[in-house]
Structure 1
Amino acid sequence: MTGREYAIIQLLNNVNGAPLTSAQLSAELNVSPKTIRNDIKAINLKLKPYAIQIQSIRGKGFFLEPHNKEGLRKYFLEDTEKKHPIIPTTSKERVNFLLEKLLFNSDYIKIEDLHTEVFVSRSTLQIDLKSVRQILKKYNLFIEHKPHYGIKIVGKETSIRFCISEYIFNQKPLPLEKQQLNILPSSDLKIIRDSILKNLRKYKIIISDISLHNLLTHIAIAYKRISEDAHVHLEKNDFYQIKDEKEYRVAKEILFEIKEKLGVDFPQNEIVYLSIHLKGTTLVSSIRDNNDMHRFIDSEVYLLAKEMVQRIDNHYGMKLAGDKELLMNLSLHLKPAINRYRYQMNIRNPMLEDIKLNFPLSFAAATTGAEVIYDQFNFRVNEDEVGYIALHLETAQEKSKNTSIKRKRCLIVCASGLGSAQLLLHKVENEFRDRVNVIGTTEYYNLANYSLEDIDFIISTVPIERSLSIPVIYVSTILGHSDISVIEKILDHQTANLEKYIFREYTFLNRDFETPEAVIQFLTNQLIINNQADAGYTQSVLERERQAPTSFGNLVALPHPMQAGTTATILSILTLNKPIEWGGKQVQLVILLNVDKSKKEDLSSLFHLLVQLVDNKHVVFELLSCHTYDQFREKIRIS
């Protein structure tokens, strides 16, 4: 059973018998509908002995019909991954397999051994290894070939560990609480985790659950690499700069405890390296009193934050430059972020796709703000970091709407750190201002130490296993539309009319293009030809796309320029006969957002409506079925 076949079964099983079309399944798995249909034929042959079949209804799609539900549970959902190793079948699966094999082995691996494991020809294997080399090159790593021995990865040890952690994060698109590290036995991981928590509490250091997971991952990788006699080498200056810091003492005690229990010796360089990781986490309290936070912020970072917000205001008219809380929180985030990039340390943002989908305006503004970091430090932050900056901007916008009204008392339990916790806090207070007073936030692992005596209920982004005396409402970190409806069925939002931004001359249906660049070139050229934009407009949209792809899932992309550049606000629309790959996702509906450069419009309502539109799979498929401008406009009107 291949990984994709397993995913198809999971998708169909998760909708409880409701049909899914091949187009919907292909959008989820980034393959063509034809491939989905072929996979389903193969699945049915494999599941036939267990009285399980995927049926199809003409015009509606595929659904799972298990005559033997116990068979489905036992033979598929539980036993497939445990008893039958998944053999990589696609080039992408093989590249990931080879990358993992090479990263987690310090010794040489013979090509013949790899050949027998992936069941492909030698020439195909060489093509896949070429892709692996391209990935490794991004980390300044290379594949060394030694006759009669095989191949292995060579390069700086810090780069190898960075690549390993990136691989782990990228291959685990699961909620944090469900993630498992396969680097070490679970018993060893528990010892490491307990040692981290014990010393963080001892030194009164508060970090997010994600930062805790990052530290656990780092130490697990270090443990495995040291066991294979692979050590990091750091400059002497790194040691002298950090040996008197609190983080060095914490790191030393954590690694000493692990040494005592697991028997692996961590040299001084490893202690320094862990100290640097600790300094790259958010070391601020989740208490809402900000009076003591100023001592964490230096003037250089504060000026950087001010310039970022000023540039965002200039481009988007958000009027955030006077928000001292935003500047402080952004500075607190930027200080460890810059440190991470200086030492090539990655950060994972499990909310990235939700942020891009639910807060496209804030994400676009954060991308603009991140340009200031490049101007000053000559490195570009990745999408994960931009996503966290977007959370701070969204928080500031939500806070500006908020008013102080007597509300019920609740506690927020959030796994994603101060930025997302504060965003969730302001979202809840703003949307339920007549009912809710959020008295604080806490990480899941600290909940046991929190008094619930004066709290009416909890809003949590992670499952709480123990029984509590007060109600718990579970939501996503982003507090999307479906989550809000759990607390309140209907909300009042600013209204806008999408129809007034849609024009016949800028709507193109059922077209054929092969690449995102070709689509953007076509749409922007129509604006330039009609004197709605100048000749440099195409390059502005392409440059924004290079910084962070604007594909949001559900077959939709929302490209836009670096800054406003048209004579009116227009939505340029294009639908494709066949989906194309766009930033790692399949896209068939493209909405180019063109903003009037002559006036500072409040775009929040427009972005909100666009998010509602593209977040609804049914509406997207309805729009893709339109063949005329009038049909499309009518679908927009009634959606």
Structure 2
Amino acid sequence: MLTIRQVKLIHILLEHEHEVSSRDLAKLLDITTRTVRNDIKIITPIIDRHGAKLEAVASKGYKLLVADQALLKLFLAEADYYQTNSDAHIIPVEPADRVYYIILKLLSVNHYLKLIDLADELFISESTIKKDLKAVKAQLHPFRLALDKKPNYGVKISGQEEQRRYCLTHYTFSANQTNNELEKQELYNRIKDLFGTDITFQYFPISDEGLSNLVEQLFIMCLRIIEDQLVEQKKHNVLPAKNDFLYQTAQEIASALSRTLTITLPNTEVLYIRDLLLAAKLITYNQHDKDPATVSHYYNQADRQLAITLIEAADNQFGLNLLLDEHLVNGLALHLIPTIHRLMIGMPIYNPLLSDIKLKQPFAFDIGIYMIEKLSALINLSINEDEAAYLALHVAAALEKSKVKQNFKRCIVICPKGLASSYFIYYKLREKFDQELKIVDLITKQELKSYPMKDLNFVISVDYLEEELPIPILVINPIIGASDVDKIKRALSEDSRNVLNYTDPARTFFRKDFKEKEEVLDFLIAKLTEQGLVNRHFKEAIYQREIMSPTCFGNSVAIPHPIERLTDSTFLAICTLRNPIDWDGRRVQFICMLSVKKDDDQKLQEIFSFLVGVVEDLTLVEQLVNVNSYQDFTSLIEAKLTAIH
């Protein structure tokens, strides 16, 4: 019988009227082109007997020719039913799926499992299961669990009961594992139905997402209690004060569970529920509240100061003014309370929006990464990229709010003709461009030498300037005419995100034969070093950013870049590959190394904005990885820019 992936491949071909290349199939299925070819060999004789024929067209790809629509439809219906309803569908094929399967298998038992039995169950060799176990060990580490190996016995997971529960919850729910056992589904629904009826959060503000996560944790807790796997009494456990509202809420939940499920919850389990409440996501107040201070009773001064410390660090690093946003300060202070508790008790969180945030809000995500690096140093605990993505959501909201307030270009006007002439230009520009242009200042040529260019888009002058500036200079007539107005209009509409301004033939490399991520990074860094663009700290910063969170953004694109601003100029270095390589679990073929010069973080947002458009354009990426010259590369990018406008 065909695998789930092979059935999906047939469906993809059936949906396309024209040929589909092996590269496109590989991207759609997230596999290599070699695996596509192997699957095609398996599929071809099977569908040949069921009303269709697979045709390979040279230089174009594969096309499905249907001779008997009814016969093929019946075959696919049977295949889909088998995959959905047969026990065979739970046996995974892909390495990542096998790792999930093995973790859940080991968590479900308390005894050793022999490697040969696991290998037989998964239809793989012992050498493959040993390789998979290395990945299992790495994924257990954030939960403070370990693999216990014993000769002649096999392997089992060792660690405290609380950590097993956190891990079980993650791999049962967050990893999209489904459980079709009716009894367990009924148990989950009964726990879920308690909230809003038997259990109310009178003293505890909790978000919908936090409540959903809490129900999942309680479901796993109840399953473990039914299996007689209880949390142990700890020496440091101290009974909370009677007026502890979290403990009161935990008691309320424990009582409701005991009544409904007829199970006994000792006080250690009540304390465990209190831990879950502390780790739950607090509700975020309405950002339109007239008085943000009304939420301050949910946190103390230390929580607020920590939020301020992180925002100040981000402002200094990225040249922002986020600390002025009181809603961000309050929201972050509220968010950090459960975050730090989760980290302290070893409860890693899974963020379902991680990929979307990395792709669609890369600048905010960079700020989130920078914040968790600072937070990690302050509390001496490691923090994953999922937490960074949650911080990025707070930051993205603040950035969008700031953008709404500042949806215009900023400039200064240089006029040596005197005050009257300066004011004439000022008011004439205000008349023509009031909603698009903010004139920050009126200055003389002498003042220009020491004037900060940060946050300015261009300079308007009535005389030609000899000075070289980091931003465009628009020379206009003191008596502004139609040609001057047109010149300014072009400047306002000009796309400063044109990445071609930051590329160079000497930094563009096509169809290289690298096999590893490190090869690509080292190659590009070496080229930039040869050209005198980076110093010895640049390589360390690039690798540090990859450790914090891999810079693969989907659709075969990676954008490696340092968090810190280490260079005196803004530039891109491009490298395409003949074949995709593994980039921390994702396939990458187009690499765009980015560095933004010091005090130019506005450019980072603009370049990221354009690159996101590139990443989301699968056809463009496919074209870019196949070009062989800088001229062809620039033509494609120019076409993309034209399409945007």
Q: Normalising to structure 2: TM-score of the pair?
A: 0.78
CA contact (8 A) 1:305 1:330 kept: yes
Change (3 A) 1:264 1:330: same
CA contact (8 A) 2:198 2:256 kept: no
Q: Secondary structure at the match of 2:223?
A: helix
Select the structure with the greater relative contact order (CA < 8 A; seq sep ≥ 6): 1
CA contact (8 A) 1:199 1:250 kept: no
Q: In the TM superposition, what is the alpha-carbon distance from 1:630 to its structure 2 partner?
A: 0.8
| 2:609 pairs with 1:608 | yes
Q: Secondary structure at the match of 1:85?
A: helix
CA contact (8 A) 2:30 2:587 kept: yes
Change (3 A) 1:89 1:510: same
Q: Secondary structure at the match of 2:281?
A: coil
Change (3 A) 1:284 1:125: closer
Q: In the TM superposition, what is the alpha-carbon distance from 1:312 to its structure 2 partner?
A: 1.5
Structure 2 residues not aligned, in runs of 5+: 408-434, 436-492, 641-645
Q: In the TM superposition, what is the alpha-carbon distance from 1:540 to its structure 2 partner?
A: 0.8
- Which moved further from structure 2: 519-528 or 620-629? 519-528
CA contact (8 A) 1:495 1:605 kept: yes
Residue 331 of structure 1 is matched in structure 2 by: 333
Q: In the TM superposition, what is the alpha-carbon distance from 1:380 to its structure 2 partner?
A: 2.5
Structure 1 residues not aligned, in runs of 5+: 174-178, 406-432, 434-491
| 2:302 pairs with 1:300 | yes
Amino acid at match of 2:79: F
CA contact (8 A) 1:239 1:272 kept: no
Instruction: Determine the C-alpha separation between the residues in 2 that align with 1:524 and 1:335.
Output: 40
Change (3 A) 1:362 1:242: farther
CA contact (8 A) 1:143 1:152 kept: yes
Match of 2:109 among 93, 105, 108: 105
Residue 275 of structure 2 is matched in structure 1 by: 276
Q: In the TM superposition, what is the alpha-carbon distance from 1:275 to its structure 2 partner?
A: 1.6
Q: In the TM superposition, what is the alpha-carbon distance from 1:344 to its structure 2 partner?
A: 1.3
Change (3 A) 1:41 1:337: same
Q: In the TM superposition, what is the alpha-carbon distance from 1:335 to its structure 2 partner?
A: 1.4
Q: In the TM superposition, what is the alpha-carbon distance from 1:382 to its structure 2 partner?
A: 0.9
CA contact (8 A) 1:183 1:221 kept: no
Instruction: Determine the C-alpha separation between the residues in 2 that align with 1:148 and 1:541.
Output: 44
Q: Secondary structure at the match of 1:603?
A: helix
Residue 82 of structure 1 is matched in structure 2 by: 85
Q: In the TM superposition, what is the alpha-carbon distance from 1:254 to its structure 2 partner?
A: 2.6
The percentage of counterpart residues that share the same residue type is: 30
Residue 40 of structure 2 is matched in structure 1 by: 40
Amino acid at match of 1:507: T
CA contact (8 A) 1:184 1:220 kept: no
| 2:262 pairs with 1:263 | yes
Change (3 A) 1:7 1:585: farther
Q: Normalising to structure 1: TM-score of the pair?
A: 0.78
Q: In the TM superposition, what is the alpha-carbon distance from 1:50 to its structure 2 partner?
A: 4.5
Per-residue displacement from partner, 1:536-595 (whole Å, max 9, x unpaired)? Answer: 111111111110001011000011112111121101111011111112100000011111
Change (3 A) 1:629 1:317: same
Instruction: Determine the C-alpha separation between the residues in 2 that align with 1:388 and 1:241.
Output: 30
Q: In the TM superposition, what is the alpha-carbon distance from 1:399 to its structure 2 partner?
A: 0.6
Amino acid at match of 2:42: A
Q: In the TM superposition, what is the alpha-carbon distance from 1:307 to its structure 2 partner?
A: 1.9
- Which moved further from structure 2: 141-150 or 541-550? 141-150
Alignment of 1:228-267 (within 5 A): 228-235=227-234, 237-241=236-240, 244-267=243-266
| 2:537 pairs with 1:536 | yes
- Which moved further from structure 2: 279-288 or 151-160? 279-288
Amino acid at match of 2:105: K
Residue 416 of structure 2 is matched in structure 1 by: none
Residue 364 of structure 1 is matched in structure 2 by: 366
Instruction: Determine the C-alpha separation between the residues in 2 that align with 1:619 and 1:268.
Output: 60
Alignment of 1:324-403 (within 5 A): 324-402=326-404
Instruction: Determine the C-alpha separation between the residues in 1 that align with 2:304 and 2:32.
Output: 48
Q: In the TM superposition, what is the alpha-carbon distance from 1:495 to its structure 2 partner?
A: 4.9
Residue 507 of structure 1 is matched in structure 2 by: 508
Q: In the TM superposition, what is the alpha-carbon distance from 1:513 to its structure 2 partner?
A: 1.7
Per-residue displacement from partner, 1:434-493 (whole Å, max 9, x unpaired)? Answer: xxxxxxxxxxxxxxxxxxxxxxxxxxxxxxxxxxxxxxxxxxxxxxxxxxxxxxxxxx99
CA contact (8 A) 1:242 1:272 kept: no
Alignment of 1:83-482 (within 5 A): 83-86=86-89, 87-111=91-115, 113-144=117-148, 151-169=155-173, 171-172=175-176, 185-199=184-198, 201=200, 203=202, 205-235=204-234, 237-241=236-240, 244-284=243-283, 286-287=285-286, 288-289=288-289, 290-402=292-404
Residue 578 of structure 1 is matched in structure 2 by: 579
Amino acid at match of 1:575: T
Instruction: Determine the C-alpha separation between the residues in 1 that align with 2:603 and 2:252.
Output: 52
| 2:590 pairs with 1:589 | yes
Change (3 A) 1:130 1:555: closer
Q: In the TM superposition, what is the alpha-carbon distance from 1:292 to its structure 2 partner?
A: 1.7
Alpha-carbon RMSD: 3.1
Change (3 A) 1:73 1:269: farther
Q: In the TM superposition, what is the alpha-carbon distance from 1:72 to its structure 2 partner?
A: 5.8
Change (3 A) 1:106 1:43: farther
Change (3 A) 1:575 1:372: same
Amino acid at match of 1:326: L
Q: Secondary structure at the match of 2:506?
A: strand
Change (3 A) 1:303 1:602: farther
Q: In the TM superposition, what is the alpha-carbon distance from 1:51 to its structure 2 partner?
A: 3.4
Q: In the TM superposition, what is the alpha-carbon distance from 1:56 to its structure 2 partner?
A: 4.9
Aligned pair count? 548
Amino acid at match of 1:299: Q
Per-residue displacement from partner, 1:292-328 (whole Å, max 9, x unpaired)? Answer: 2111122222222222122222222122122211111
Instruction: Determine the C-alpha separation between the residues in 1 that align with 2:193 and 2:494.
Output: 45
Q: In the TM superposition, what is the alpha-carbon distance from 1:189 to its structure 2 partner?
A: 1.0
Amino acid at match of 1:74: A
Per-residue displacement from partner, 1:201-250 (whole Å, max 9, x unpaired)? Answer: 45375533332332122112112222222122253554434764323233
Q: In the TM superposition, what is the alpha-carbon distance from 1:99 to its structure 2 partner?
A: 1.9
CA contact (8 A) 2:507 2:527 kept: yes
Q: Which has the larger radius of gyration?
A: 2
Instruction: Determine the C-alpha separation between the residues in 2 that align with 1:248 and 1:151.
Output: 38
- Which moved further from structure 2: 38-47 or 580-589? 38-47
Per-residue displacement from partner, 1:389-413 (whole Å, max 9, x unpaired)? Answer: 11111111111133699xxxxxxxx
Instruction: Determine the C-alpha separation between the residues in 1 that align with 2:392 and 2:53.
Output: 44
Residue 22 of structure 2 is matched in structure 1 by: 22
- Which moved further from structure 2: 505-514 or 183-192? 183-192
Instruction: Determine the C-alpha separation between the residues in 2 that align with 1:9 and 1:214.
Output: 37
Change (3 A) 1:397 1:530: same
Change (3 A) 1:256 1:154: same
Q: Secondary structure at the match of 2:573?
A: strand
